[in-house]
Structure 1
Amino acid sequence: MGLEHTGVLDAFAYDSRRDLLVLAMYETRPWGKEDQQILQLQEKLNAYASFILDGEMAESFPQYAGKTVEIQLRTRHLPDPLALGLLQQAREQFALQQIQLETIQIDPAEEVLPDATGSCGCGGNTCC
């Protein structure tokens, strides 16, 4: 789980209070220390977009079809300027598809684990 696993949906939840789906990705590494990190972020964002826009999400979770979707980058460290630039570009592109993109700094003590069932919630058999 995390940016280094670009083909994995880290977390999926329905926020009934806001009536939207949340797809979360996690990054625990400091930003700007690994050359591959920005590429991994881009690949993970593309994978999430594909999951939403290509119909896989609606097929896997038909009960949520038509709901607003928010992608969250949940990170222990504030993104560096390069990552912030990529996130802003992605945010603008996602907005054209009515998809929200948020960056949330999480407490470094927070454990980043799949839910109690051991599943990330994506419906696939290869994730967790």
Structure 2
Amino acid sequence: MKFGTSNPNIIDTIGIENGCVVLSLIQGVSVDESSIRDLQYKFNVYLSYILDGQLEEEYPHFSSNSARIDLLFQYEPTGIARDFIDKAVHQCASEGVGVNLVVGAVNV
């Protein structure tokens, strides 16, 4: 299975961690100016999945849980990718959705 921006309309993984629903975006290639739109698109798929109620519809037993998006990157995001992630963290926090960046834990 392809993960990350190479499969833009699919949630890579969904799980529970300490009572929080975690949607993980697994990105095994670096993101730069030529691919930032792909990352933005995929991230928006995740955010819409949570905010538009699709997560609750497909997993009703998670309806009372908080939600978080984990960005699991093989490479440290820089430049425009880092700027996007920083903005996404703040924007999502105002919607009650956490965003967590983990770098180097991906082996795809």
Q: Look up the match of 1:95.
A: 93
One-letter amino acid of the counterpart of residue 70, structure 1: R
The answer for unaligned runs of 5 or more in structure 2 is: none
- The number of residue pairs the alignment matches comes to 106
Partner amino acid, structure 2, of 1:88: D
Partner residue, 1:61: 59
Aligned-partner residue type, residue 10 of structure 2: V
SS of alignment partner, residue 4 of structure 2? coil
Taking structure 2 as the reference length, the TM-score comes to 0.90
Contact residue 72 and residue 105 of structure 2 kept, 8 A: no
- Structure 1 stretches (4+) deviating beyond 3 angstroms? none
Q: CA deviation at 1:107?
A: 3.7
Maintained 8 Å contact 1:31/1:78? no
Partner of residue 6, structure 2: 4
TM-score under structure 1 length normalisation: 0.77
Which structure would you say has the larger Rg? Answer: 1
More helix by share: 2
Distance in 1 between the 2:64 and 2:19 partners? 11
CA RMSD, Structure 1 to Structure 2 (Å): 1.4
Choose between structure 1 and 2: higher strand proportion: 2
Give the Cα separation in 2 of the matches to 1:10 and 1:106.
Answer: 17
Q: Percent identity?
A: 25
Q: Unpaired segments of 5 or more residues in structure 1?
A: 113-128
1:29 matched residue in structure 2: 29
Once residues 71 and 25 of structure 1 are traced to their aligned partners in structure 2, the CA distance between those partners, rounded to angstroms, is 7
CA deviation after TM superposition for structure 1 residue 40, in Å: 0.9
1:38 CA drift (Å): 0.7
Q: Distance in 1 between matches of 2:99 and 2:24?
A: 10
In the TM superposition, residue 66 of structure 1 has moved relative to its aligned partner by 2.3
What is the match of residue 16 of structure 2? 14
